[in-house]
Structure formats: C-alpha cells, structure tokens
Structure 1
Amino acid sequence: MDVPAVVWWFTIAGIAGLLLFDFVFHVRKAHVPTLSEAARWSAAYVGVALLFGVGVWVFGGTAMGVEYFAGYVTEKALSVDNLFVFLIIMSSFKVPRADQQKVLLFGIVFSLIARAGFIFLGAALINSFAWVFYLFGLILLITAGNLLKPEGEDSHSADNIVIRLARKVFHTSDTYDGDRLFTVQDGRRVMTPMLLVMVAIGGTDILFALDSIPAIFGLTENVYVVFTATAFSLLGLRQLYFLIDGLLDRLIYLSYGLAAILGFIGVKLMLHALHENNVPFINDGRPVPVVEIGTGLSLGVIIGVLVVTVLVSLFSPKGRAQNAVSAARRHATEYLEVENDPARREEIFAALVREIEVIKGLPEKYRARIREEDRLMALLTRAREAHDAAPPP
C-alpha cells in the first residue's frame, strides 16, 4: 500500500510534536520522575502507539495492521534490552539521576534520525537487490547466537567502539555543571561530561539499529509501517527507563527470549529470500518453493515468547537474587560517587539498606556466591562506612 505524502508529513509532525512536548513539560527542568509520573506517561505513550495501530488497521487493512503491531512489539522488546546498556552508560559516566532524562531524550531523537536513515537505505537495498534478505537473515541469526552466549556480570558493557572514540576525541571537564553541555573552568569555556554521555548514548543507538532494522524488515517491507513502528517503540522509552529501572536486572532470561525472536525472524527472512531468490548460485537463480511464515503467526510467536520470558524471569529465585545484587551495586556506587544532595543520598542509602535485607533473605546458595564477590562486598562496606561518617541531614 502506497501512503500519500500528506500522511507522511502529518505523521512526522505528530512524532516531532510529541518529542517537543516531552522536552518542554518534562525534561527542560531537571528532576527525578516519581514512579507514578513514569507509569502515567509510559501508559500514555503506549496508548498513543496502540491507537495509531488501530488507525493503521482501519485505514490500511488487516495485513498492514498486523504488520504494525508485530513490528511495534518486536522493537519495543529490543528497546527494553537496550535500556540495560543505557543504564550502564549512565553509571559509567556517573550521570546524576535528575539529569538522566535529558540524556535519554537526546538518545531517542538521535536514534529516530539515525534509524530513519537506515530504514530508507534498507528499503532501497531491498527494492534493488533481492539477496539483501539473505544478508538481513544472516545478521539476525548471528545476533541470536551471540545472545545465547553465557552472560557474566559485565555482559551488558558500556565499552564499545563508539564510546572509546568519544573518550579520545572529546576532552571534557571532570565534573558536571547541572545538565549544561558547556561550562567555564579556569576562565576557559570547556565541554562537560554531559556532552560525552550524549555522544555515547547516540552512538550506541547506531549499533542497536544494526539488529533492530533487519528484524522489522523481516516482518514487513512497508516503509511507512517500519518507520512508525520503530518511532512509536522509541517514544516513551525515557519514561519506561525510570518505570522499570528496578526490574531491568530481574529480566535475566530476556536475552534468551530475544534470541528466540530474532532467530525466528531470521529463519523467516531466509525462507522469504529463497521464495524470491534470484541469486545465480542458488537453484540456478530461480525461486525455491518453500513454506513462508505469515505475519499473523509471527505476531503470535513474538508475544508468546515475550510473555513466557518475562514470567519465568520475574518468578525465578535467580532473578530475584540478581535484581537485588545489581540494584545494591548501583545504589552503592550512586551514593559514593554520583550524588551530592544530602536528601537524595539518604533516599539512595535507604534503598540500599532494603536491598541488603533482601540479599540476607536469599537462600544460602545465592548468599554464598554473593559473599565471594569481593568487589561488591568492598563497595557495600565503603557505602556503609561513608554513611556512618556523614553528618546527619
């Protein structure tokens, strides 16, 4: 289905308007969103995405509607996994909690622009070269295999090529000046670490696109559906970050679920490539009669895998243990190295104490493993000693 240019312009204007609204009413003034605020606005953005999908279904037909929802759910799941890396980048650069919203919004805007470029490039390649489906399928199968590798404590690392380059190219001040990108230090105008963080988030988004764009093209070739499903999956990601922050580390089986989804879509792409084959050394350049996987079945598989993955993760004792340990490590680091506001430090320490109590209530086999983590135990001890030595607020 060809989408009229006026619909494209109205869609782009609507997305830009939502981003501008987000900045003016939520991000411009630095603050830490409450749980209720994050929940309300996360629900609002999901609601907007679902209503848009209903509109696509009504005006574009059932097939187009199913393609949109399959793409939206897949991209949303991948964006949740990306939040792990965002969280580590924020911790690595010691971004104050109140200033993290601006970094996330910048990342979303940069990601939208970058992914739009990838989407139109991908569409052009698909229209010109049928073998691109083989390439996209291979990328997804390799990514799925990488996700199945055993994960360690630092499996979601902030140390990628983009961040290493950014650290070398951008020379910044040692401290933040609120959420400003530039500050005056020793009479000279210098960049703050905030700019470096934004470059790191934006550059990392480009790496994420290498997986997500082939995935959604495996579900639909409609460029309008690909663009809108991707855009609406990113809108509200900032609110989602603060809403599920405490649950991110508990989704210990999410990588396995995403591996299953990407592997499934990779196979779907390979079958479609065989069906449309014109590569000379495969079946003499003729299409191969294979069974193709419908979008309706794809949507059912994607939702089913995600539901099972989330439920198993949330009710797993291992997930509860990992969540408590990761949260305690993050809060201890934040207490010692990031926050300076006494009231906020007290809130962080109170959360740390609660997490330590959860750890103490874990089965002995998990507590024994935790006690063997010398760096973690030293970090918790330092946090408690710093709190005991601090003057009362």
Structure 2
Amino acid sequence: MIMDVPMWAWVAVVVGLLVVVAVDLWIVDRGEPREFSVRQAGIWVGFYASLAVLFGIGLAIWGGAKVSGEFFGGYILEYSLSIDNLFVFYLIMARFAVPRPYQHKVLLVGILLALVMRGIFIAIGAVALAKFSWLFYVFGIFLVWTAYTLVRDHHKDEDEFKENALLRWARRVFPTTPGFVGARVTVRVDGRRMVTPMLIVMIAIGSTDLLFALDSIPAIFGLTKDPFIVFSANAFALMGLRQLYFLLGGLLQRLVYLSYGLAVILGFIGIKLILQALHDSKVSWAPEVPIWVSLGVIGVVMSVTAVASLIKARNDKAVTPAEAPQG
C-alpha cells in the first residue's frame, strides 16, 4: 500500500530535518572546533533515535500500524546497513588524516550530500518500480548476489580505502592544498583559489555513501513500496549516523561477524522481494511475507551478530602469549 501523502507532509519532514541539523550545528560546532566526546555522541544518538520513534508513532496515529511497522523496519534496516558504512568512513578519515576536531563537520556535510543524492535515487526508483514491476525480480536477485559477495569477500583485506571514480576526478580537477587549513573548504593561495583536503574528504564520504545506497535502497523497497517511508527512514538513519561513528569508536573493528549478519539480512530481503513479485503476479504458492516477520529477522540477526562478534573479540583478547605453544 502506498500512502497518499500531501505535499505539506513532505515539506514538513524536510524542513524539520533541516531545523534539527541547524540546531545540531549551533550547539556542537559553535566556537572553536573541538573533539566530539563519547558522552556527547551518546546523547545525540539517543536524541535522533527518539525522534525516529516519535515519527514512527506519529505514522501509526496517521496511517495505521502497518505503515508504522514499515517505517520502523526500514529505519532499523538502514541503520543496520549503515554500520558497515561507518567502517569505511573510519578508513577515509585515516586515509586523509582528518584532525579529530574537524571530523564531525566532515561527516555532517558528507551525509547531507548523500541524503540529497539518495532522495533523487529514491524518486527515480519509485517511479521505475511503479512502471516496471519486473524490476522487483532484478532487485531481489541483486540483493541475493550482494549477500553472496559479502560472505565471499569477508576475509579480503579491507584496511585500505579505494578511491571511487568521482573522488579521483575531483582530486584531478580541483587544485588542492597540501594540508588542512583549519576547517576551511577553500582558500586563496598566491591569488589562486584552491580547495583544501576538507572538501575532498566530504566528497569521499558523500560519494561512498551513495555507493552503499545501491544496496540499501533496493533492500528497503523490499520492505515497503512507499517513497515517503523509504525517504524518511533513510533520512532518520543517516542523520544519526555521524554521532554513532563517534559513539562506537574502536568497537567497529570488533564487529568481525558484521558482514555475515548483513549478508543474511540482504539475502532474506532479496528472497522476500522475489516472493512478493511472484505473489503480485498471482503465483499461488508464493507467500506474502508480513512486515513483522521482516522486523523480527532483522532484529534477531543483528543482535546475534553483535553478541557473537563481541564474544569472539573478548575470547581473542583473553589469549595471552603465555598460552601460546612453547618452542
């Protein structure tokens, strides 16, 4: 079911998010740049999660439990998939040696760029799916293949960030200063306008997140066909992403089974998409998977993945040189 969402609702969501970002910037980034503490990150993660919950409750009052369930399913899915993004963001920060006081600004601008590009992608996807129902088969097969590649490539070396085509183009076209100039994006050097590495890193964050959207957008369309829910779930997940980056910190590298968990989720949703397409085509044996099943699968898989990863990390840490075989 696709809601008939009035234009004022779209405007209210977008304006509301912009207001929250402005308040975030005013509170966090006013004055001299400073490091983002774990305590601050925890407060802001809780704040953005609370906003998402309130929005979901509002959808339940306005559109019913099914609509609200689709939003929460999409939000949890996008948030789960975004954890994988955070590890790449960590590599980007290390690759460009971004000073910690400036990392919050880099993440904020990069994610805002990604949100705009995702909005365009969602609009195109919604129109295409409405006209060409066979695309659900394509999305389903693509997600199953992505799940397979996550498992296949799990043990490959991922400690180096590989620049995408857009980033290579930006580095080639824009004259760039050798180092950061505070938090400035551009600076004039000997009468010539140059960009700083700050802009390059923002482009890296935004374009990398857009590449991740090639997986996450088809996945959320497997939970709901409603573009309003798809966009709002993406927006709320992205807006809390930069605080989650600082909150998790070194924990990211301890989530060793994350790829397996995400593979299970993407594989499940890919199969769900194919079954949904068959069901819509009146294939008698194809069941329609309810949203509560999807919510349950996502929640259980991510919980098991996190617990198993932390147990393994603790066991690995408990192994001491004294326990190693004596030569």
TM tier, smaller: over 0.9
Are 2:253 and 1:296 aligned? no
- Secondary structure of the 1:102 match is helix
Q: Equivalent of 1:80, from 55, 62, 83?
A: 83
- Separation of aligned partners in 2, 1:292 and 1:82: 30
The reply on whether 1:252 has 2:287 as its aligned counterpart is no
Q: What CA deviation, in whole Å up to 9, does each residue of 1:208-240 have, x standing for no partner?
A: 111110010000011111111111011121111
TM-score (norm. length: structure 1): 0.77
- Which one of the candidate residues 166, 171, 174 is aligned to 1:167? 171
Specify the alignment match of 2:309 in structure 1.
Answer: 313
Structure 1 runs of 4+ aligned residues shifted over 6 Å read 365-368
Q: In the alignment, is the contact (CA less than 8 A) between 1:84 and 1:156 conserved in 2?
A: no
Residue 332 of structure 1 aligns with which residue? none
Amino acid at match of 2:182: G
Match of 1:106 in 2: 109
State how far apart, in whole Å, the 1-side matches of 2:181 and 2:279 are. Answer: 57
Q: Between Structure 1 and Structure 2, how many residues are aligned?
A: 321
1:1-393 map, 5 Å? 1-29=3-31, 30-149=33-152, 150-154=154-158, 157-277=161-281, 287=283, 289-317=285-313, 321=317, 362-364=319-321
Q: Which amino acid is the alignment partner of residue 18 of structure 1?
A: V
Query: 2:263 and 2:170 mapped to 1: Cα distance?
Result: 30
SS in 1 for 2:188: strand
Distance in 2 between the 1:363 and 1:159 partners?
A: 37
CA 1:143/1:366 → structure 2, altered by over 3 Å: closer, same or farther? farther
Q: Against the structure 1 CA distance between its residues 65 and 156, is the aligned structure 2 distance closer, same or farther, given a 3 Å change threshold?
A: farther
In structure 1, the residue corresponding to 2:108 is in which secondary structure? Answer: helix
Distance between the aligned counterparts of 2:171 and 2:324, measured in 1? 37
Larger radius of gyration: 1
| CA distance, structure 2, for counterparts of residue 142 and residue 165 of structure 1 | 29
Q: Which has the higher contact order (CA 8 A, sep 6+)?
A: 2
1:164 shift after superposition: 2.7
- The gaps in structure 1 that reach 5 residues or longer are 278-285, 322-360, 369-393
Pair 109,315 (structure 1): closer, same or farther in 2 beyond 3 Å: same
Shift of 1:111: 1.3
How far did residue 365 of structure 1 move? Answer: 9.8
User: Which secondary structure does the structure 1 equivalent of 2:4 belong to?
Assistant: coil
Cα distance 1:320–1:174, how it changes in 2: closer, same or farther (>3 A)? Answer: farther
Give the RMSD, CA atoms, in angstroms: 2.1
Deviations 1:116-170 (A, max 9, x none): 1111111101110011101111221121111102323426734333333333233
Summarize the Cα distance change of 1:77–1:365 in structure 2 as closer, same or farther, 3 Å threshold.
Answer: farther
Task: Please tell me the residue identity of whatever aligns with 1:190.
Answer: M
Q: Residues 87 and 10 from structure 1, CA distance in 2 versus in 1: closer, same or farther, beyond 3 angstroms? A: same
Query: C-alpha separation between the residues in 1 aligned to 2:214 and 2:66?
Result: 26
Shift of 1:318: 6.9
Deviations 1:163-212 (A, max 9, x none): 33333233311111011011233453321111111111111121011111
Q: Provide the rounded CA distance (Å) in 1 between the counterparts of 2:305 and 2:162.
A: 24
